[in-house]
Amino acid sequence: MSILAREYQLSFDSYYLYAKSWQSTEANPELAPIILMHDSLGSVALWRDFPAQLAAQTKRIVYAYDRLGFGQSAVNHQPLGLDFVITEATHGFKAVLDYFALKDFIVLGHSVGGGMSAAIAAEYSQRCQALVTIAAQYEVEERTLAGIREAKQAFRQAGQMERLAKYHADKAQWVLDAWTETWLAPAFKDWNLSQVLPQVQCPSLIIHGEQDEYGTLAQPRQIFAGVKGAAELQILEDLHHMPHKEQPELVLALISEFLAEIS
């Protein structure tokens, strides 16, 4: 089996977004494609080989895109709004749906991308066939804030910003601030997914590392309890905030098994 990867540049308002797709030679075009939502410092490139492996195992087309201001997408000249997790569904994500003319889809997100994915599943409840979250946050916890403060301090060390710039070029400082300054803002402390989860009607798979440094187990449990559709909760022993990179075979197997019954 081989994987065909293609790159795209699509219009978004007066800007552009970078996207990529992966399709195996055994892909079933009748199956709903998977769209990936990256984390706060993430990008298409930082998914590494996960999308290709996911495409191979599920026999579905996989799409990923860099949100505005990230990766190879255009510069975002504005700070993130405090509603950015919810509004991505009708902004960048909608541009992706429109560009690829996608009707039905599956959405899979990591960390804040998981929260965005829940909002997307709620916004497009008649089109989203399944939701998968990995290490997603339901609300702002002290553990979340403590982890962000620690990371912010670490980025002051020599070479750290250069590592981030490898994926975000001259947007690296904006990307870091979009994460740290938004989440640490007092006005953001009451953010949560309580309003969107009851609108999630599709089957959901919630994956969370037992030792996640950015969220206690209350986070996935609240997502699991909050969605309206059938849900499966997988707490992965000894894993942290990057389960799909720490034990990719396990996470890919869980996702593939979950999606086996989804058309």
Question: What residue ranges do the domains of the chain occupy?
Answer: 3-259
User: Degrees (nearest 5) of the Cα angle 137, 142, 144?
Assistant: 40
Please report the pLDDT score of residue 247 as a whole number: 98
Q: In whole angstroms, what is the distance from residue 137 CA to residue 192 CA?
A: 8
Question: What is the distance between the alpha carbons of residues 92 and 6, in angstroms, rounded to a whole number?
Answer: 19
DSSP state of 79: P
The pLDDT, as a whole number, for residue 1 is: 76
If the chain, 263 residues long, is cut into consecutive pieces of 10 residues, what is the mean pLDDT of each piece?
A: 95 93 95 98 98 98 98 95 96 97 98 98 98 98 95 93 96 97 97 98 98 97 98 98 98 98 84
> C-alpha dihedral over 9, 168, 131, 240, to 10 degrees?
160
pLDDT computed for residue 261 by the predictor: 87
Long-range contacts of 41-44 (CB under 8 A, 24+ apart): 41/164, 41/175, 41/176, 41/179, 42/70, 42/71, 42/110, 42/111, 42/113, 43/70, 43/71, 43/72, 43/167, 43/168, 44/18, 44/19, 44/20, 44/71, 44/72
* Span 3-259 CATH architecture: 3-Layer(aba) Sandwich (3.40)
pLDDT of amino acid 12: 85
Structure confidence at residue 196 (pLDDT): 97
For residues 166 and 224, give the distance between their C-alpha atoms in angstroms, rounded to a whole number: 36
